[in-house]
Amino acid sequence: MKNNIDLKVRPRRLRNSKILRSLVSETKLDLDDLVYPLFIKSGKKIKIEIDSMPGIYQFSKDTVLNEIEELLKLKINKFILFGIPKEKDDYGSDSFADDGVIQTALRDIKKRFPDVFLITDVCFCEFTSHGHCGITKNNSLDNDTTIEYLQKQVVSHAKAGADMVAPSGMVDGSVKYIRKALDTNGFSSLPILSYSVKFASSFYSPFRDAAESMPKYGNRKKYQMDFKNSRETIKEVQLDISEGADIVMVKPAMVYLDIIKNIKKIVNVPIAAYNVSGEYSMVKAAAKMGWINEDKIMNEILFSIKRAGADIIITYFAKDFAKTKLNEN
């Protein structure tokens, strides 16, 4: 049958060549948008690959300097630091000690590389013997006591040279009292990136191998959010912003793009998304099986997070992204 085809609008016109696709692409993703996590373990000469996170290592504060030198060559200069102390106790004492694993690493890194940007994760789960994100009473996280210890921790990070602090424990009021502690100690210019929307997620399990932070009993559902909720995320971000958060974060990222998009409409501060360990490990595992094209899948995931509205992405893929520099148009 001969159709008299009469089409004015042909969306395919704009897909005709790579150069045109690039010209009209709505989302740009740059290395500058990415933050790379580093795990620092107390000790010397340590470089241990995490079984469940191929390509990601625990370093000691000496070996991490070589790693940062390599990362800087790839133009990765923004990091979030996680510490694994020599000794854990009920209060996570190493997390606020002047000679703690994070504080000494901060000083050593800043001394050698003054221009790198260092964010510290502010939490207790890697530092406490019970593995929970604060001080516990009767086997439950005690919110208000934890606040006092969070204040000690942030001030010690600030004194050691942190450029930004990132409270990740979902402790009510933490942003308010962290801001207060920073301000009264002369750090009113230090920004807070709050893990405002952090879901109780099974996507964190490889991280808990890397950071040795699996809770010894129970789970984190009494403080991290229920992943079935969306409206509640608005309450959390608005609260954190009112308490002084400079940047708010959604975590995990990949299966929470709806949340990122929603928050973007509501707030006027930058939004970060944490492309977490499980999201990384699934891609690595499937690639190892030869079932997917790792670089392309990585690219598609990172672009989707950006497209949803994230301004900043914390991702274990930063190094791979920098190396592959895919041009997908």
**HEC states along 231-246?**
HHHHHHHHHHHHHCCC
Is residue 149 a contact residue for ligand PBG (CB under 6 A)? no
Q: Is 49 helix (H, G, I), strand (E, B) or coil?
A: strand
Q: For 165, phi and psi rounded to 5 degrees?
A: -115, 145
x/- map, 272-291, ligand PBG, by CB under 6 A: ----xx--------------
* Residue 127 binds ligand PBG, judged by CB under 6 A: no
168 touches ligand PBG by CB under 6 A: yes
Please say which residue, 17 or 219, places its beta carbon nearer to ligand PBG.
Answer: 219
Q: Using CB under 6 A, which residues numbered 83 to 122 contact ligand PBG?
A: 121
**Known catalytic membership, residue 251:** yes
Q: At what angle do helices 101-112 and 143-160 cross, to 10 degrees?
A: 30
Closest approach of ligand PBG to the CB of residue 72, in Å: 22
Query: For residues 319 and 303, what is the distance between their CA atoms, to the nearest angstrom?
Result: 16
Q: Which is nearer to ligand PBG, 175 or 276 (CB)?
A: 276
Q: Which of 277, 323, 322, 296 is nearest to 30 (CA)?
A: 322
What is the contact mask toward ligand PBG in residues 177 to 216, using x (rule: CB under 6 A)? Answer: ---------------------------x--xx--------
Active site residue: 61, 251, 284, 319, which one? 251
What CA–CA distance (Å, rounded) separates 208 from 283? 18
Q: Has 73 been annotated as catalytic?
A: no
How many residues in the chain?
329
Q: Between 187 and 274, name the residue whose CB sits nearer to ligand PBG.
A: 274
Residues 6+ positions from 182 with CB-CB distance below 8 Å: 154, 155, 158, 165, 188, 190, 192
Q: Are 273 and 234 in contact (CB under 8 A)?
A: no
Of the residues 41, 198, 306, 319, only one is catalytic, namely 198
Q: Does 150 participate in binding ligand PBG (rule CB under 6 A)? A: no
Q: Give min distance, CB of 125 to ligand PBG, in A.
A: 5
- Beta-bridged to residue 325, according to DSSP, are none
CB of 121 to ligand PBG, least distance (A): 5
Active-site annotation, residues = 198, 251
